[in-house]
């Protein structure tokens, strides 16, 4: 009897650890509010070009639901994750919302995901999808600030310590 209860308790802990017992992918982070990721645009990339690149990147993985170039805003429809292991789960959905700041010098996006438990949707984000999209956007339009050079340590400063 004790072994059965221990196994049952262990199974329950595993379910809770995997998406709060929802059967969500490990990359699902349940939260009530998603946070915008922001990046500076490369100075060499003008808005029209940046807009085209963003739309291209998003439409490779998502279907668009709302788009406004003049407002610098795009939102995809909810869909199943584009990762093959998540495609079998119809209860797990993801979308991207992206926008440019009014001065067109920054780009922001967030990944919204949700998991259906049979009664309600649990909102959150997907860290794996966010990391993939961040990489794609940085490679195409993002301005990565140069790393600051570390000050050289002189022999005099080592002796003073």
3-state secondary structure 109-158: EEEEEEEECCCCEEEEEEHHHHHHHHHHHHHHCECCCCCCCCCCCCHHHH
Closest CA to 68 of 103, 97, 30: 97
pLDDT at 70: 97
Residue 60 domain-assigned? yes
Q: Is residue 114 part of a domain?
A: yes
Tell me the pTM: 0.74
Count: domains in the chain? 1
34: tokens are 């998603």
CA dihedral angle for residue 136, residue 139, residue 140, residue 142, rounded to 10 degrees: 100
In a domain, 19, yes or no: no
Between 84 and 142, residue with greater pLDDT:
142
| Domain-located, residue 94 | yes
pLDDT tens digits, one per residue of 28-80: 999 988 899 999 999 999 999 999 999 999 999 999 999 999 999 999 999 98
Cα 44 to Cα 24, 41, 56, 93, distances in angstroms? 40, 8, 18, 35
Cβ-contact 58, 74 below 8 angstroms:
yes
We report the CATH number of the domain holding residue 34 as: 3.30.530.50
Residue 80 lies in a domain: yes
Does a structural domain hold residue 3?
no
Let me know if residue 42 belongs to a domain: yes
Please report whether residue 155 resides in a domain: no
| Residue numbers of the domain that contains 58 | 29-142
Whether the per-residue pLDDT at 98 is higher than 80: the answer is yes
């Amino acid at each position: 009897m004790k072994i059965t209860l221990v196994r049952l308790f262990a199974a329950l802990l595993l379910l809770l650890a995997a998406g709060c017992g929802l059967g969500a992918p490990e990359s699902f982070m349940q939260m009530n509010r998603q946070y915008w990721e922001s990046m500076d645009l490369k100075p060499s990339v003008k808005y029209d070009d940046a807009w085209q690149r963003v739309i291209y990147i998003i439409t490779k993985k998502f279907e668009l639901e709302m788009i406004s170039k003049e407002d610098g805003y795009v939102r995809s429809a909810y869909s199943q994750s584009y990762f093959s292991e998540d495609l079998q789960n119809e209860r797990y959905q993801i979308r991207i919302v992206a926008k440019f700041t009014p001065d067109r010098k920054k780009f922001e996006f967030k990944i919204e995901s949700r998991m259906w438990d049979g009664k309600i949707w649990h909102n959150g984000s997907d860290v794996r999808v966010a990391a993939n999209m961040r990489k794609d956007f940085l490679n195409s339009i993002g301005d990565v600030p140069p790393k600051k050079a570390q000050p050289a340590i002189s022999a005099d400063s080592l002796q003073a310590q």
